[in-house]
Amino acid sequence: MTPSNVLQATVGYGLLVHQVYRKTESSNFILAVSLFALLPLYISSLLTLDYPPLVAILITYTFFLTTLILSIVCYRVSPFHPLGRYPGPLACKITRLWLFKFSRRGQQHLYIRSLHDRYGDVVRIGPNELCICDSTAIAPMMGQAGLPKGPNWTGRSMDPPIPALSAIRDPVLHGQRRKPWNRGMSVSALREYESIVAKRAVQFINVMEQQKGTPNLAHWLACFSYDLINDIAFGGGSELLREGDTDGILHTIEQGMRKGFIFEHLPWLAGYAYKIPVIGRATRTVRETGRRKAQHRTKNGSTVKDLFYYLNNEDGVEKTQPNPDQVASDGSLAVIAGADTTAATLCNALYFLMRNPECYDRLQEEVDKFYPIGENALDPKYYSKMPYLEAVINETMRLYPGALSGSQRAPMKGSGGKAIGPYFIPEGNQVRVHTYTIQRCSRYFSHPDTFWPERWLIVGGLQAAPNPKEFVHNSDAFIPFSYGPANCVGKNLAMQEMRMVLCHFMQRLRVRFAPGWNVDEWERNLHDFFILLTGELPVIVEPRCDRET
């Protein structure tokens, strides 16, 4: 063959490879090596009669990769692409790496919101992904007859051999795996956990009372939440409040979340990246920690019915015993998801209360009404009668939900696609409702960027709206725990924990910002790495002089 014929064949081969991956979306390693290494190397050998071997390889790969990239780009920006009719930045249509640029900084939530401000209710945020800000899309997308989870869940967890509950994309398997979780988060199970939460809440308040200077409230809440969720998930095994984070486990979890969030954009690379020590180290450490705790809990048992009791089928409901690695995986999920999200929400709640003294005083008044001196603020008997406490928690989660960027969904293979209201999602593409954006949308909430707990009292009929004709509140757009059969299984536990901690905290302590600290720094340092990660919150903590110590 002449060099011209070889180069024409190389161009044709580049076009063929694009079509193969467009049709199959394969992550098979052998196929990738064959298509991207072995076959181009063979083609380059046809040029060695006219060029030195290294030059022949360079020419072949230049033509092959240039053709492949141009073919991909042209297809993605063309009207022939299944999402070609939807608006979005050109860079987002071409490559997922554009959104990755903002994700690695923890600013994905801000960027996607800016896209909705510019393009409207539906925007194309990737070559094969749409983002929707429309409350009517929530139920058909995530409800009982909605879409299963998308491939980014595989990337986030770095493609584990046995995925945790949150990363299971098969709806049938997800339903089966969720059964022990449902038992472990039932009303009766939560009653079992009340004493566990109360014990840790008392320890947390005692630790805060002993702090001198300007302690970082965010750090101590993270220690509290991590200790508590280990008590609930594994029957114990963590004492960060007492001993400090000597092993750096909180930093390790944060690094794992950062790396996992990166690979939600490149899920086909996650399994390979996990094997690279510098990339997968944090995730491996977290998995190994979960495995050790599961083994210890299995060996030693527990004196209480903790979450592990249900995950490990110790209640004997399931006919077969679950795989130990599966139990360890789900236990680790409970620790990671349960610790960081609850700690961040509690931090945000206290931050907003300190920044809005009138809200702080109103919640203080409600706590003092139901839990005066001598009353146990950790007894939940009055929580249902405390609407302002509920309003503060809801308003905090409206502004900063634990998972800012929502849950990616994708049509089942072989389905051809699914209509989500006026939007059609073709098979092989993904979609999400962006929680941060929709919960701050002025069409659904008055004063959407303002911390205003009273909005929840107004909608509940407990307070009059200042301008009834202008008041807007659509609870259908409030989805901090996601929605449907794959929503957050730990919702009720999280709410129980936040109510107990806030009541006990307000009863025992008074807290204010550290002098000289720039309060605007807090929100600037809130980062979206799937789970909301916080910065430092330096405060002055004082025992309330009108409270028993």
Q: Are residues 53 and 181 in the same domain?
A: no
Tens digit of pLDDT for each residue in 373-409? 889 999 999 999 999 999 999 999 999 999 999 999 9
Question: Exposed e or buried b for every residue in 497-524, given b needs 16+ CB within 10 A?
Answer: bbbbbbbbbbbbbbbebbeeeeeeebee
Q: Are residues 275 and 358 in the same domain?
A: yes
User: Is position 431 within any domain?
Assistant: no
Whichever domain contains 170, its CATH number is 1.10.630.10
At residue 263 the predicted structure's pLDDT band, cuts being 50, 70 and 90, is: confident
pLDDT at 27: 66
Hey, which of 5-9, 41-45, 71-75, 280-284 has the most confident mean pLDDT?
Answer: 71-75
Q: Which of 16, 44, 77 is the last residue of a domain?
A: 77
- Whole-number Å distance between alpha carbons of 340 and 402: 8
Tens digit of pLDDT for each residue in 167-187? 898 999 999 999 999 999 999
**Residue 121 near residue 540, CB atoms below 8 Å:** no
pLDDT at 548: 46
- What are 280's two structure tokens? 């997968």
User: Is position 354 within any domain?
Assistant: yes
Can you tell me the mean pLDDT for 214-242?
94
Q: Are residues 192 and 245 in the same domain?
A: yes
User: Is position 157 within any domain?
Assistant: no
At residue 549 the predicted structure's pLDDT band, cuts being 50, 70 and 90, is: very low
**Residue 109 near residue 405, CB atoms below 8 Å:** yes
Q: Are residues 354 and 285 in the same domain?
A: yes
* CA dihedral of 393, 113, 92, 423, whole degrees rounded to 10: 80
Res. 158: pLDDT tops 80: no
At residue 65 the predicted structure's pLDDT band, cuts being 50, 70 and 90, is: very high
Tens digit of pLDDT for each residue in 101-146? 999 899 999 999 999 999 999 999 999 999 999 999 999 999 998 9
DSSP 460: T
User: Is position 346 within any domain?
Assistant: yes
Question: Which among 443, 439, 445 has a CA at the least distance from the CA of 465?
Answer: 445
**Residue 14 near residue 65, CB atoms below 8 Å:** yes
Q: Are residues 307 and 251 in the same domain?
A: yes
Which amino acid would we find at residue 279? I
Q: Are residues 452 and 487 in the same domain?
A: no
CB burial of residue 65 (10 Å; 0-12, 13-18, 19+) = middle
At residue 325 the predicted structure's pLDDT band, cuts being 50, 70 and 90, is: confident
- What are 123's two structure tokens? 């925007």
Q: Are residues 457 and 358 in the same domain?
A: no
User: Is position 8 within any domain?
Assistant: yes
Q: Are residues 40 and 181 in the same domain?
A: no
CB burial of residue 205 (10 Å; 0-12, 13-18, 19+) = buried
Can you tell me the mean pLDDT for 75-84?
95
User: Is position 210 within any domain?
Assistant: yes
pLDDT at 67: 95
| Backbone torsion region of residue 445, taken as left when φ is above 0, otherwise alpha when ψ lies between -120 and 50, otherwise beta | beta
Q: Are residues 379 and 499 in the same domain?
A: yes
Average pLDDT score over the chain: 91
Q: How far apart are the first and last CA of the chain?
A: 90
**Between 491-508 and 324-355, two packed helices, what is the crossing angle to 10 degrees?**
40
Can you tell me the mean pLDDT for 204-209?
96
User: Is position 39 within any domain?
Assistant: yes
Question: Which among 34, 43, 36, 42 has a CA at the least distance from the CA of 3?
Answer: 43
Tens digit of pLDDT for each residue in 518-530? 999 999 999 998 8
At residue 26 the predicted structure's pLDDT band, cuts being 50, 70 and 90, is: low
How many separate domains does the chain show? 3
Res. 29: pLDDT tops 90: no
Give the structural domain span for 464: 441-468
* CA dihedral of 543, 545, 546, 549, whole degrees rounded to 10: 50
Can you tell me the mean pLDDT for 77-87?
95
Is the pLDDT higher at 340 or at 88? Answer: 88
pLDDT at 546: 55
Can you tell me the mean pLDDT for 460-474?
93
Can you tell me the mean pLDDT for 510-517?
96
Q: Are residues 305 and 176 in the same domain?
A: yes
Q: Which of 31, 51, 77 is the last residue of a domain?
A: 77
- Residue 352 vs residues 358, 395, 513: alpha-carbon distances, Å: 11, 10, 11
Q: Are residues 289 and 336 in the same domain?
A: yes
User: Is position 91 within any domain?
Assistant: no
Q: Are residues 71 and 201 in the same domain?
A: no
* CA dihedral of 517, 519, 523, 529, whole degrees rounded to 10: 20
Question: Which among 423, 545, 389, 404 has a CA at the least distance from the CA of 479?
Answer: 404
Q: Which of 54, 77, 100 is the last residue of a domain?
A: 77
